[in-house]
Structure 1
């Protein structure tokens, strides 16, 4: 018993942690015809496995190729071989690095839930189109909640971590997250979900993995027939229904 007479209990947290990142922009004002799809990806990890397996794999990659772990893996900079990733201009190093990243994405135990918004079709179909981020966030949160219910985790706090973008943008995202979790969705109230913002300099392994996941999903949605090794590696990790279907369960494409 605490001296004040109050009994303190430890908050019940779920066994899972979620890292979210996006690919493409959610603006409807100027749509790039070469990249008209906005993707939001949720990467769900069991905390124990994340700590014991995923983080060490990414740390080893950084030490092996850069000699330190203070850099942040970012898919755009990797593709362009910019900054510290300029070492990838060497073809042999690039091949070895890509193979290691591919192995991590193949072996990392996680579940993926993602939503892709085709902004061109969205604008054509609706006279007053809603913000793509809000739509994608709703889809991902609904499916995440169903996934947690299936595992008996819906009564425990699950944190969804996103990267800080700026004070104003973060405030808008938090407001939208809370609006959805309060019941503005097709599942019901999700008081067990809690959003947290993380500065990029914190070098979160989970956020970096989510960044590597989001881009190939976007490329797959834009052109499903184009060879996409990165997507092929993560495809088995999507949430599925009992028949093994991804569409509508682990990957929602709208409209």
Structure 2
């Protein structure tokens, strides 16, 4: 069945997480789970954002068949061993920072403190499912505030594949949320899930990956210097009073 060209919204969403959603073993140094939605206008994404990221890859790797992965960059492993040269690392991080700062998109995130969740609820829900609900509700609100026509067109939300069991659980929960709706989102909102393998080398997924961890670090210690968070802070979804608490960052519980 062919797609109707006018059936899609003007926006595309890429999602990634930081930390794991397990409540069984909680890392005391990072006891949180972060889900991050990066919302791009398709026209901007396709015409300039992909180009800027590829130019960065050509500059530092000589080709664009490379995946920017936050953990590997921070640990300087695998394809990022060259960052052990401090002078090159500084240039690379400056260039990445400059790109993120200049490109236009919105961030919707949810940060779950897993230790607090376990203490507050006798039978806490899956942190991923909680985060998914909060992020989708805020995405609905954002698209409605821009132009209601986008709510009558399909908006795709792209997640990175994590494994068959995890992907099946995510898709089931996503469809349950859409079918049943929530207090802040009607039933059958026109959102569609797409799970992409890391090997697809998606620019949007890589940007989401770079952003999730700084948000988590900021929520763990707001007094610690966090240059990466300062760069993404302007992208956080805000209310009419320019406050991003509860929108750009939903902290729970």
Question: Is TM-score (shorter-chain normalized) higher than 0.5?
Answer: yes
1:229 is matched with 227
The 8 Å contact of residues 16 and 205 in structure 2, kept in 1 or not, is answered as yes
1:214 is matched with 212
The 8 Å contact of residues 158 and 192 in structure 1, kept in 2 or not, is answered as yes
Alignment of 1:54-65 (within 5 A): 54-65=49-60
The list of structure 1 runs, each at least 4 consecutive aligned residues, that deviate by more than 2 angstroms after superposition, is: 7-11
Match among 245, 248, 251 for residue 250 of structure 1: 248
Hey, what's the Cα distance between the residues in 1 that align with 2:131 and 2:52? 30
Hey, what's the Cα distance between the residues in 1 that align with 2:3 and 2:240? 41
1:180 is matched with 177
CA RMSD of superposed structures (Å): 1.3
Structure 1 residues not aligned, in runs of 5+ = 1-6
Larger radius of gyration: 1
Say if 2:64 is the partner of 1:69.
Answer: yes
| Distance change >3 Å, CA 233–CA 170, structure 1 → 2 | same
| Distance change >3 Å, CA 87–CA 28, structure 1 → 2 | same
2:193 is matched with 195
| Distance change >3 Å, CA 158–CA 222, structure 1 → 2 | same
The Cα shift of 1:9 comes to 4.8
TM-score, structure 1 length as denominator? 0.95
The 8 Å contact of residues 145 and 190 in structure 1, kept in 2 or not, is answered as no
Alignment of 1:62-101 (within 5 A): 62-101=57-96
TM-score, structure 2 length as denominator? 0.96
| Distance change >3 Å, CA 128–CA 10, structure 1 → 2 | same
Hey, what's the Cα distance between the residues in 2 that align with 1:242 and 1:40? 23
Hey, what's the Cα distance between the residues in 2 that align with 1:150 and 1:106? 23
Hey, what's the Cα distance between the residues in 2 that align with 1:38 and 1:162? 16
Hey, what's the Cα distance between the residues in 1 that align with 2:188 and 2:100? 29
